[in-house]
Amino acid sequence: MDIKTATALRRLRLVSAPEAVSFLLLLVCSVLKRTTDFNAVPVMGMIHGVLFILYVIFWVDAWNRTKWPLKTGALYFVLSVLPTGGFFAERKLRREAEDAVIASRARQEKEGVVGA
């Protein structure tokens, strides 16, 4: 995995959890708006909207760089529209990055390159 692909996956991973948190907070704010006088929906809606747009931009970049199959790319998009899906996406992306590091180290050992 080249550095640009790893960076794209890292960006997607780093924005997925905050996007999920903002979605949950937006849901809480919506309930509070209906049940109390507290109305933070406009502010939370904007924060969530910005994070969702960033997620989609980073998702497209990661999909283009990693050449994921349609099923994998669609999975990461569907996870972005589920209230807790961003947490699952972050965990899956972290595992994918760890697997890539392990594979890279195995290739280096096979080629005889010793890591410092």
pLDDT in tens, 20-60: 999 999 999 999 999 999 999 999 999 999 999 999 999 99
Distance, first Cα to last Cα, the chain: 20
Given a cut of 60, whether residue 63 has pLDDT beyond it is yes
For residues 8 and 14, give the distance between their C-alpha atoms in angstroms, rounded to a whole number.
Answer: 10
Instruction: Fill in the amino acid letter for 115.
Output: G
pTM of the model: 0.82
For residues 76 and 70, give the distance between their C-alpha atoms in angstroms, rounded to a whole number.
Answer: 10
Strand (E) or helix (H) holding 72: helix 70-81
Radius of gyration over every alpha carbon of the chain, rounded to an integer in angstroms: 18
Given a cut of 60, whether residue 116 has pLDDT beyond it is no
Residue 69 to residues 60, 87, 94, Cα–Cα distance (Å): 13, 21, 18
